[in-house]
Structure 1
């Protein structure tokens, strides 16, 4: 059988999680994208004890950011896998789209996504504003409910948490957080997004920490092998889809020809 994340890894990780995390618990799922040598990797992890456990991933056949369809493609299997938990999906500004937030909301899944300052929102009874105009400064916070996010229509209402950590021991964060969420409180939203440090710790461990996987020859061969399998699977999917379309066209053409023949005989 071919190497497959779904067939080999998902059943294994499910058994591990069920032993460590009781069914019905809230579980933090992090979306991220990273560069592994020449491979552009979109990955979903579960945050457990301040570390990220890889759950599902895909190699993108391009450079740069992921799009909505690619993001949904990696999240969907994880939602099925973790359906016995209360899931909160978190992600940085790459995953800021209102379409992704709305899709998760329709699946009854919680989320907390960081936003860019040049995004428009509208609070009840007010005009549209940029996030940068909301007055967030070091040491301040806010939580708005029932906002319109972006000027796009048809996506319903969301909540927005703003948080800028105060200066501590001479260190000041460059900017605050604007978190789009459907969680019910400021504390929940910020606590969920803070858990994202677990995935940064995982990447540090694997790339430059004690594991130093990225410079390992064995890892390099393995990651390229998995990447090749994924690429071949994608090519096979595209080939199969094109054959199905061709067969449908042929059947329609033959059906049309038979109809013409019967009509001529009549």
Structure 2
């Protein structure tokens, strides 16, 4: 339903994990989303009965769910942060011909031009704020042949991205889309849905709550996209060049206003308009 709702085709997938504690219980969501216009669209998730990182089997399982449903031909690339590294994982992606652009740790071991094992940061000392650097040699990271890109962040720390697309000239731009899943988590956990405030601790029940929130998020986001097309808003950019007001926030405001008309004015026309936004071709908004 969600895939058709946004008319998705070949997509870049982003994965991330978010966890919090309620009492003695660890609530740990591992999620896969589609990169889409600034905020990831949630597709699949798994509740982990632990606090720590995922293993390669859990990652592979989530990707395989996407492939089984939509086919590998619709998977353009996987982007992820440095938590999602490892030899088995990198080789599984490469052996299955799945492109990736994943941030790696600065202490990852590689061979220098003398054949000596060193931390990768030793090869990237010269990288400046003004450039995205493409390393000249193909390197082996976590047992996988990769092309490495690097740049400095605002605090002058190294951001190092590895890709199994050895001929690519810009994996950093692909990796930069990874932040969209963080924006999604921010929406689910704080901007209207307050997922962390749930007192549920049974993982199956939390997963069902995530499903409801994911659907509500997509509903609001779909409304926001069409509202912005109908009456484009001038949205100021933050220092990172992202809009201060997201399409999700815009849609959520319109959705709340519409639901108010439905519940307090018994407006059936608005109700039909609202429900139509759960389809790929919604009706025109008649309020707001």
Change (3 A) 1:80 1:58: same
User: What corresponds to 2:168 in structure 1?
Assistant: 185
Q: Name structure 2 gaps, 5 residues minimum.
A: 210-288
After superposition, the Cα gap between the structure-2 partners of 1:64 and 1:156, relative to the gap in structure 1 and judged at 3 Å, is closer
| Match 1:21 to one of 1, 8, 13 | 8
* Local SS of the residue matching 2:138: strand
Alignment of 1:159-178 (within 5 A): 159-165=147-153, 172-178=154-160
Determine if the alignment matches structure 1 residue 214 to structure 2 residue 196: yes
1:62 match: secondary structure: coil
Q: CA deviation at 1:174?
A: 4.8
Post-superposition shift, 1:36?
Answer: 4.8
Rounded Cα–Cα distance in structure 2 between residues aligned with 1:76 and 1:48: 20
Aligned to 1:253: none
* Cα distance between partner residues in 2 of 1:33 and 1:202: 11
CA gap 1:209/1:227 in 2 versus in 1, 3 angstroms: closer
C-alpha contact 2:56 2:89 (8 A) present in aligned 1: yes
Offset, 1:86: 3.8
Separation of aligned partners in 1, 2:78 and 2:160? 16
RMSD across aligned C-alpha pairs, in angstroms?
A: 2.7
TM-score by length of 1: 0.66
Q: Distance in 2 between matches of 1:173 and 1:96?
A: 23
Cα 1:86–1:225 change in 2 (3 A) is closer
- Count residues in correspondence: 200
TM-score, structure 2 normalization = 0.62
Secondary structure of the structure 2 residue equivalent to 1:114? strand
Matched residue of 1:138: which SS? coil
Match of 2:69 among 60, 81, 94: 81
